[in-house]
Chains A and B, each alone.
Chain A
Amino acid sequence: MEINREKPSESNKRARNLVLHIHPVLVRKESIRFNLTFGLGGMLAVLFLLQVFTGVLLRFTYVASPDKAYDSILTIQNDIFFGQLIRNMHNWSGILFVLIAFLHLLRTFYTGAFYDKRRWNWIIGVSLMVLVIFQNFTGYLLPWDQLAYWAITVSTSILQYVPVVGERLMEFIRGGENVNASTLLIFYNFHTAILPLTIVILMVFHFWRVRKAGGVVVAEKSSPDMVPSDPDLVLKELVTALVLIAFILVLSMFFNAPLQDRADPAFSPNPAKAPWYFMGVQELLLHFHPFFSAILIPFLFVGGLIWLPFLHFKEKQQGVWFYTRKGEKLVLIAAVVALITIPAGILLSEFVIDVERMLPGIPLIISSGLIPFTAVFVLFALLLYVVRKKMAPGNNEMILFIMSFLMAAYFIFSLTGIFFRGTGMQLMWPWNI
C-alpha cells in the first residue's frame, strides 16, 4: 500500500502517540494480512465499546423490576427519539459479539495460536468467551417478556441436575424458587456491572499478552519484512471498524429486536426455546438425560479447551490455517462425517431408538443417560481409530480433527434446534413451524 507520508500535523501526532499505547511502532507485514485474522479480535473490541455505549443509554430509561421492566422497554421503543434504534443496535451487536467471539476462538485454534508463549492468553481467551456468553445471557432476561422469561427459566433449570448442590445452586442464582424480581435484579447487576468490568480487565490483559508474544501469530517461514503500524495497520483497523458499525446500523434500521408479550409465569409459550447459542445444548437435552447433555458434555468441552495448550505436541505449526495439507483434508472430512452422522443420529434417536421403553424400570439416568452416552462415545472412538489408521495424522492434526468434528456437530445441533423444532419440540420442516 502506497500512502503519502507528509509531515504530520500537531493533532495527527497526538493521535499517533495514542496508537502507540496499543500497537508497536513496527509490525510484521505478514501479521496484518487480512485473511490471516479477518480482524476478528479488533471487531470484538469495537463491539464491546458499542455495547457499552448503547447499554449506558438504555440504562437511562430501563427499570429492573418485574412490573416496570416491560413498560420501560416499551417507553424506550415508542417514546424516546431513536430509542428503538439504540435498542436494536444493542441487540444486534450483542448477538454479533457472541458470534464473532466464537469465530475468533476458532481462528486462534485453526492458526495454532495457543502454544508456549500464547498458552495463558488462550486460557484468558476461553474465559472471555464464557464471560461474553454470560454477558449476553444475563441481558436476555431484562426485557421481561415471554421470550426472556421462559428462556431463562429453561436454562437456569438445567442447574438442578448438578449432583448434590444442584437445587441450591439454581435457587441461589435465581434468588428464589422461580425466576422472580430477585432474579431480574441479580441478572441486571451482573449484566451492567460485574461482567463488563471483569471483561474489561481481562481484555486489557488479553491485548497485553498478544504484544508480549510478539504480536499476532505468523508462520515461521513468513517474510521478516516490517511495516509501520501507523498507517498500515491502523488504516485497516479503521476500515474494518467502520464497515462493522455500518453493518450494525443497517441491520438495526431494518430489523427490530424481538419483543414478545409481557412475561406470564403461569403460561409457557409453545415451544419455549433457550437463547440461540444454547440451542445446541437444548437439542442434546432432547436426546440425553439432562445431567449428561447439559452438564457433563459442556463441562468436558470447556475443560478440553483449557487443557489444549498443555497437551504435548511434537510439532507446533503456527500461523498457517489448518496447520498442514493433511490438516486441511482432515477438517473437511470431519465436517462431512458430522454432516452425515449427526442428522442420522438425531433422526434415529427421535424415531427409532427408545432406550427408556426398551429397558423399563431402570433409572432414567442410566437408560437415557449412561447407555446412550457410552454408545455415542464408543462410536466416536471408533471413528477416531479409523482416521488414525487411514490418515496417520500427527497429534495436533488429530486434535484438529476432533475439534472440527465437535464444532460441526454443535453447529448442526444448533441449526436443528433453531430451525427444525416446532410445537412441543417436535421435528418439523422450518416452513411448518
Chain B
Amino acid sequence: MKTQTEHINRRSFLKRIWAWLGAIAVFEFAVMAFSMLSPGGRKRKRGASSFVTVGYANEIVPGSVIPYKSGQFYLVRYQDGGFIALSLICTHLGCSIGWNSSEDQFICPCHASSFDKFGNVLNPPATRALDTYKVFIEEGLVKVDTSRKIRRTGFQNSDLVYT
C-alpha cells in the first residue's frame, strides 16, 4: 500500500515538472513572439537623434510660420524672436494640421480642431496642445531634433528658444 502512494507521488511529481516546463516554454515563446511583433521599432527610437537644419536664425523673420513637412513640424518665430518647433500632428486623432494665416491659427482638416501660434487648443475636439520638438541654435544655425516628440498640456514661456 505504501509503495503505491509513493509511486503515485513520484508520478504526480514528474507530471507537475512537465507542466511547469511546458508553461515556461510557452512563456518563452510568448516573449519571443512579442518582441518580434515590433519590427525594429524599439531600437530605432533609442538610436541617435536626427537633426533637421532649418537655416540661419537671423534670416527668419519674426512672426513667421514655416512648414517643414518632411520633418513633420512647423517652425514658428514669434515677434520677440523666440523659436518653437510645433509638431504638425493634431493631438485629437493624428491628422496633419494646416496653417491658416488669415485667421492666425492652425486648423485640422479632420474634425476642425484649431490651435493658436503657441500650439494651445483654441477649439476642441482636440484636448491637448500640439507636441513640440527640441530646437537648438548652434553658431547662428537653427536645428530641430526630430527624433523625439515632447508632450505638454499647454504653452509655457520656457518652450521658446532664443539666439
Name B95's contact: one of A272, A289, A368 (CB within 8 Å). Answer: A272
Q: Which residue of A lies closest to B37 (CB)?
A: A186
Contacts of A426 in B (CB 8 A): 112
Cα separation A365 to B39 with both chains bound (whole Å): 34
Which A residues lie within 8 Å of B125 (CB)? 285-286, 289-290, 368
**Whole-angstrom distance from the CB of B108 to the nearest CB of chain A?**
8
Q: List CB contacts (< 8 Å) of B16-75 with chain A.
A: 37-41, 44-45, 69-70, 72
Contact of A285 among B37, B109, B111 (CB under 8 A): B111
- On whether the beta carbons of A266 and B44 are closer than 8 Å, the reply is no
Which stretch from A151-159, A240-248, A322-330 is at the chain B interface? A151-159
Contacts of B92 in A (CB 8 A): 157, 290
**Given A158-B93, A182-B38, do A289 and B109 touch, yes or no (CB 8 Å)?**
no
Chain A CB within 8 A of B149 CB: yes
Decide if A270 is an interface residue (CB 8 Å cutoff): yes
* Cα of A182 to Cα of B40 in the assembled complex, Å: 8
Contact B109 A154 (CB under 8 A): no
CB distance from A95 to the nearest CB of B (A): 23
Count of chain B residues with a beta carbon within 8 Å of a chain A beta carbon: 26
CB distance from B67 to the nearest CB of A (A): 8
Of the candidates B41, B45, B88, B109, which one forms a contact with A266 in the assembled complex, judged by CB atoms under 8 Å apart?
B88
Q: Identify which of residues 69-113 in chain B touch chain A, using a CB-to-CB cut-off of 8 Å.
A: 69-70, 72, 88-89, 92-96, 108-112
Instruction: Check if A150 sits within 8 Å of B95, measured CB to CB.
Output: yes
| B124 CB–A CB distance under 8 Å | yes
Q: How far is the CA of A426 from the CA of B39 in the complex (A)?
A: 39
| Surface stretch bound by B, among A41-49, A173-181, A208-216, A333-341 | A173-181
A175 to B41, Cβ gap below 8 A? Answer: yes
Q: Does the CB pair B124–A368 fall under 8 Å?
A: yes
Would you call A186 and B39 a contact (CB within 8 A)?
yes
Is B163 part of the binding interface, using a Cβ–Cβ cutoff of 8 Å? Answer: no
Return the CB mask of B123-150 against A: 1 if under 8 Å, else 0. 0110100000000000000000000010
Q: Does A202 contact B (CB under 8 A)?
A: no
Chain A residues with CB below 8 A from B38, complex form:
172, 175, 182, 186
Q: How far is the CA of A178 from the CA of B89 in the complex (A)?
A: 9
Contacting residue for A176 out of B44, B69, B88, B89, CB 8 A? B44
Majority SS at the chain A contact face: helix
Interface residues in A, total, Cβ within 8 A: 35
Interface pair A267/B41, CB less than 8 Å apart: no
- Interface mask (A239-277 → B, CB under 8 Å = 1, otherwise 0): 000000000000000000000000001111111100000
- In angstroms, Cα B108 to Cα A66, docked, is 24
**Which residues from A are CB-within-8-Å of B96?**
265-268
CA distance A272 to B89 in the complex (A): 14
A179's closest neighbor in chain B, by CB? B94
Contact call B127/A270, Cβ cutoff below 8 A = no
CB distance from B115 to the nearest CB of A (A): 14
Q: How far is the CA of A266 from the CA of B90 in the complex (A)?
A: 11
A185 on the interface (CB 8 Å rule)?
Answer: yes
Contact B111 A268 (CB under 8 A): no
State whether the Cβ of A171 lies closer than 8 Å to any Cβ in chain B: yes
Residue interface mask A164-201, B partner, CB < 8 A = 1: 00000001100111100010011000000000000000
**B110 and A268 form a contact (CB under 8 A):** yes
B110 touches A176 (CB 8 A): no
Shortest distance from the beta carbon of B92 to any chain A beta carbon, whole Å: 7
A-B contact pairs, 18 of them (CB 8 A): A150-B95, A150-B110, A153-B93, A157-B92, A157-B94, A172-B38, A177-B149, A182-B41, A265-B72, A266-B69, A266-B72, A267-B69, A272-B110, A285-B111, A285-B125, A368-B124, A424-B112, A425-B111
Chain A residues at the B interface, C-beta cutoff of 8 Å: 150, 153-154, 156-158, 171-172, 175-178, 182, 185-186, 265-272, 285-286, 289-290, 356, 364-365, 368, 423-426
Q: Which residue numbers of B lie inside 8 Å of A, CB to CB?
A: 37-41, 44-45, 69-70, 72, 88-89, 92-96, 108-112, 124-125, 127, 149
Given contacts A172-B38, A176-B41, A271-B110, 15 further A-B contacts (CB under 8 A): A153-B94, A154-B94, A154-B95, A156-B94, A171-B41, A176-B45, A177-B149, A182-B38, A266-B69, A266-B88, A266-B96, A268-B96, A272-B109, A285-B111, A425-B111
